[in-house]
Structure 1
Amino acid sequence: MTTTFDSLNPATGEVVGSHPKQGPEAVRAAVGRADEAAAWWAGLGHAERRRRLLDYKAVITRDLRGLARLVHEETGKPVGDATLEIVLAITHVDWAARNAQKVLGRRRVATGMIGLNLSATLEYLPLGVVGVIGPWNYPVFTPMGSIAYALAAGNAVVFKPSEFTPGVGVRLAELFAEAVPEQPVFQAVTGLGETGAALAADPRVRKIAFTGSTATAKRVMAACAENLTPIVAECGGKDAFIVDADADLRAAADACLWGAMSNAGQTCVGVERVYVVDAVYESFMRELSERAAGVRAGEDYGPITMPGQVEVIKRHIDDAAKAGRVVTGGPGAVRPPFVDPVIVEDVPEDSPAVREETFGPTITVRRTRDAQEALELANASAYGLGGTIFSRDARRASELARLMRSGMTAINSVISFAGVPALPFGGVGDSGFGRIHGADGLREFARPKAISRQRFAMPGMNLTSFSRGPDELERLIRLVTFLHGRRKR
């Protein structure tokens, strides 16, 4: 008998839907079906997969309102925010479908002088079955960054959505079946932790794409290690926001507030730490606090989706309030399932509110001597996912962005890199490794295949033979010396 679990609206506690707890046997069956479907899907070739994925994009678009309503019900976020998330996901499906052949298709590569008698080609082939373990905070956009790119690369996908948003995952798979009814190329399996563990442990899964906490990523990696299954891990963040002396302060405050508070702060690339150059600190704080006063939990953003996170948020707020100065909010801001905006300044850098991921509508703000000190503080973190620079000096902003220890940095905007399908998305350090989105995201779900072919025998230089003589070796030495023996001054 299959047991079920309920997904709940975190704002109201109402049951949104019931779903089966699919255990190891059900997961193995799904992977088996995917294994067969993967051969069919790969055999279609790039052009046919492109056509079907564009059909999928159209099906999602036609269901946008209904899907946004479901995201709203399972996460609690406003329908408008859910709509924006789905629109971004649609643009990524479109980009992956249209660019897969150009990025992954067979192409000739130069062979060099030594390989003058050779031709060489490189292409990227499908892996087979890809397992995707998705999060609850952006239940469409985030997993689709793996799903769409894995599908475009020619793989079948088995998707384990978060137990907090299973209905969204199931709906995404149902919509794909409308576009591609022939084979179960994209399936969803629902359940709790054991469902994801079974997916990671199946040897027929050729890669796992995981999004979640750093601690959970380590457990998933341990399961994958048993079969040497590679993994791309998109984990947490503690993203920094730097305001330079010449920044547009109104625009910076507006972007900072939205980057920190939207989705109730439950954004892996959301703003959590703010560093402001001394010369504009007071003016920036006035702008930020005035804007924050008009933002309401339950109206402008939704509840804390995962109940257990409330305690983490409360602990960080309490600690920060004792060590620093509360500008907005404070310990009383926590009123489960909602948390009002919280801004605390002068919090020590070794505080949990600065060092650990909070994942709530809170920010710490610190005054810095200059942008260089702000950069050093921003980089002094175990995390390295995203970040933001506000400065009117394009050259200076670009240099600061390049030196920020993160996978992505936005300049004079916030989280804008996520909306550019051609840009890779991922982090360093405790924020994970590997990339989704863009050409790197397509290659992440494919294996490079190199082929060399001898076009003609090289006269007087058969080097890979036991019949090779000293004259041939001498000719090789002279050729290499001519090509590589001159020192560059």
Structure 2
Amino acid sequence: MTAVDRDRGAELVSVNPVTGAVVGRFPVHGAADVAAALERARAAAGWWAKLGADERRARLLRWAAYLAGQDGELVALLHEENGKVAADARIELLTALEHIRWAARQARRVLRTRRVLPGPFLADHTARVEYRPLGVVGVIGPWNYPILTPVGSIAYALAAGNTVVFKPSEHTPALGTRLARTFAEANPDAPAGVLGVVTGFGATGAALCAAGVDKIAFTGSAATGRAVMAACASTLTPVVVECGGKDPMVVADDADTRAAARAAAWGAMSNGGQTCAGVERVYVTRAAAEPFLAELRRALDGIHPGAGPDASYGPMTMPGQLDVVRRHVDDALAHGAYALVGGRKSVGEVFVEPVVLVDVPEDSAAVQEETFGPTLTVRTVADVDEAVELANGTAYALGATVFSRRHGDEIASRLDAGMVSVNAVLSFAAIPGLPFGGSGESGFGRVHGPEGLREFARPRSVATRRLALPGTTLTTFRRPPGLLAAVARAARLRHGGARRARGDSAPPPA
């Protein structure tokens, strides 16, 4: 990725992370361009919202079918621009298709009008909650999963009746523009603004935040997430922010250590370790440690990065990430850890060989900071209690993994994480009905699932008086004498009875 100046303005040049070959050239959109994209989205918003859930469903399913028909080309582009090997690219695309399908098919059910009981003192009313589209949603996507992650916001926002302006990462603009173009090609009757795209660097994203969209969905680093929130604060634009993680795995005494080791290897190394909700730390109980480490070495035997068809995973997409990986490995080894697999020499100029660091101090960068590379720390603990305490010991709270034959759910309930997979890895990300998100440095809000649809809808409460019973209205200056006193007596009976049922005979303190 580079930027150059032309007579017509700035240009974003996307390059292959391995060869440096030019993948495509794209404009660097400024504030005026972003405003124009927002205007197109506003113009299309009424048409898209009025289609209704069934018509939107048909168009989203048509989009998914169109993407499925272009899977070979999309997998090739993911490899060319992002560096993913074909297996990682295909898994990403397949998961994205499932999310589009789920959002399209479930939006009507999740966002249907919901009746609410009005309570005894407004028994002459009916009450309901309606869900309405926000309007235009701005989506700022990442480079590590340039199709799946933005689709997790785009598809749900569209299904909820919004139009979208999408700003892909400056490292993957070809994939971002291709994604938007496929929607238009699959739905030629749709106005251009239903799913628009703007390309550029951080200033383009900042312009989108300030343009007046009705919500921003952002995925990226915590530092950039703070900048997005600050940019949105002046206009009170709400945000949903996913900022990565330092995801732990707990391996208990009764774990299937072979399955756990294979899951840890894939969770840590697939996609070059560039996964916010992968596996970066393992806490294994003393009873399971020796067989787990032996199985982990076997699981990583023959696993290697590259650009060819036999590679297990691809390069570091962002060159600067190599420095982070190198610093974390060096720091861990300097503070007493030992390398079970790989080591300092594993970090090359484009690729990083698998690295497993054992007995890394908990206060080291390799444990506390997101590495975003094909590395894994493993620590032996006395028991599950210690494992849980250490697993909860970072500022992140995104995903987690537990391996235990008999106590997986109980251990999972004790972990400070927005998502947990038990006896598997990353399952929660592939199940569209489950919400995705975390807390702390991992951000807030949710995409995917019913919560993800509601994230892009505005609840509207409606209370309607159906029976105008004479002499029963409290909210008037003309209420009958004694009505308020009668209601107060009824309230005492209603709520005082609950105290008596608990055996609490004394009145509450004033």
Q: Provide, for residues 41-89 of structure 1, a one-character-per-residue CA deviation record: whole Å limited to 9, x for no partner.
A: 1111111111111111111111111111111111111112111101100
- Counterparts of 2:481 and 2:296, CA distance in 1: 77
Q: CA deviation at 1:3?
A: 2.5
- Counterparts of 1:105 and 1:342, CA distance in 2: 49
Report if aligned partners of 2:471, 2:480 keep a CA contact under 8 Å in 1. Answer: no
Q: Which of 479, 482, 507 is matched with 1:471 structurally? A: 482
Q: Which of 207, 217, 241 is matched with 1:233 structurally? A: 241
Between stretches 46-55 and 446-455, larger displacement belongs to 46-55
Partner of 2:386: 373
Q: Provide, for residues 270-320 of structure 1, a one-character-per-residue CA deviation record: whole Å limited to 9, x for no partner.
A: 111110000111111011012223211111000000011110110001011
Partner of 1:198: 207
Does 2:404 align with 1:391?
A: yes
Partner of 1:81: 88
Amino acid at match of 1:8: V
1:280 counterpart SS class: helix
Q: Provide, for residues 159-182 of structure 1, a one-character-per-residue CA deviation record: whole Å limited to 9, x for no partner.
A: 000011111110111111022233
Q: Provide, for residues 193-252 of structure 1, a one-character-per-residue CA deviation record: whole Å limited to 9, x for no partner.
A: 11111001112x000000000000000110000100000000010000110000001100
Does 2:117 align with 1:103?
A: no
Amino acid at match of 2:201: L
Amino acid at match of 1:341: P
Q: CA deviation at 1:482?
A: 2.6
Q: Provide, for residues 415-472 of structure 1, a one-character-per-residue CA deviation record: whole Å limited to 9, x for no partner.
A: 0000110000000100000000000000000100111100012343220110123411
2:464 counterpart SS class: strand
Amino acid at match of 1:309: Q
Q: Which of 243, 246, 249 is matched with 2:257 structurally? A: 249
- Counterparts of 2:71 and 2:230, CA distance in 1: 37
Q: Provide, for residues 298-344 of structure 1, a one-character-per-residue CA deviation record: whole Å limited to 9, x for no partner.
A: 11000000011110110001011122111111110011210000001
Q: Which of 191, 195, 198 is matched with 1:186 structurally? A: 195
Does 2:417 align with 1:409?
A: no
Report if aligned partners of 2:13, 2:23 keep a CA contact under 8 Å in 1. Answer: yes
Does 2:435 align with 1:428?
A: no
- Displaced runs of 4+ in structure 1, greater than 3 A? none
2:68 counterpart SS class: helix
Does 2:324 align with 1:316?
A: no
Superposition CA RMSD, Å = 1.0
Report if aligned partners of 2:316, 2:322 keep a CA contact under 8 Å in 1. Answer: yes
Report if aligned partners of 1:2, 1:22 keep a CA contact under 8 Å in 2. Answer: no
Q: How many residues align?
A: 486
2:482 counterpart SS class: helix
Report if aligned partners of 2:146, 2:168 keep a CA contact under 8 Å in 1. Answer: yes
Does 2:302 align with 1:291?
A: no
Amino acid at match of 2:239: I
Does 2:35 align with 1:7?
A: no
Partner of 1:22: 29
Does 2:471 align with 1:460?
A: yes
- Counterparts of 1:109 and 1:36, CA distance in 2: 34
Partner of 2:505: none
Q: CA deviation at 1:481?
A: 2.1
TM-score, with length taken from structure 2? 0.94
Partner of 2:164: 157
Q: CA deviation at 1:365?
A: 0.6
- Counterparts of 1:11 and 1:138, CA distance in 2: 17
TM-score, with length taken from structure 1? 0.98
Q: CA deviation at 1:92?
A: 0.4
2:9 counterpart SS class: coil
- Counterparts of 1:69 and 1:115, CA distance in 2: 61
- Counterparts of 2:342 and 2:288, CA distance in 1: 23
Identity of aligned residues (%): 56
Between stretches 322-331 and 353-362, larger displacement belongs to 322-331
- Counterparts of 1:353 and 1:459, CA distance in 2: 71
- Counterparts of 2:266 and 2:114, CA distance in 1: 44
Q: CA deviation at 1:478?
A: 2.3
Q: Provide, for residues 374-408 of structure 1, a one-character-per-residue CA deviation record: whole Å limited to 9, x for no partner.
A: 00000011000000000000xx2112112210100
1:111 counterpart SS class: coil
- Counterparts of 1:226 and 1:473, CA distance in 2: 44
1:167 counterpart SS class: helix
- Counterparts of 2:393 and 2:71, CA distance in 1: 41
User: Which 5+ residue runs of structure 1 have no aligned equivalent?
Assistant: none
Amino acid at match of 1:59: Y
Report if aligned partners of 2:398, 2:439 keep a CA contact under 8 Å in 1. Answer: yes
Partner of 1:481: 492
Partner of 2:357: 344
Counterparts of 1:12-51 in structure 2 under 5 Å?
12-51=19-58
Partner of 1:223: 231
- Counterparts of 2:360 and 2:297, CA distance in 1: 17
Report if aligned partners of 2:471, 2:479 keep a CA contact under 8 Å in 1. Answer: no
Does 2:309 align with 1:300?
A: no
- Counterparts of 1:218 and 1:284, CA distance in 2: 39
Does 2:265 align with 1:260?
A: no
1:131 counterpart SS class: strand
- Counterparts of 1:89 and 1:363, CA distance in 2: 27
Does 2:68 align with 1:61?
A: yes
Report if aligned partners of 1:408, 1:426 keep a CA contact under 8 Å in 2. Answer: yes
- Counterparts of 1:246 and 1:399, CA distance in 2: 13
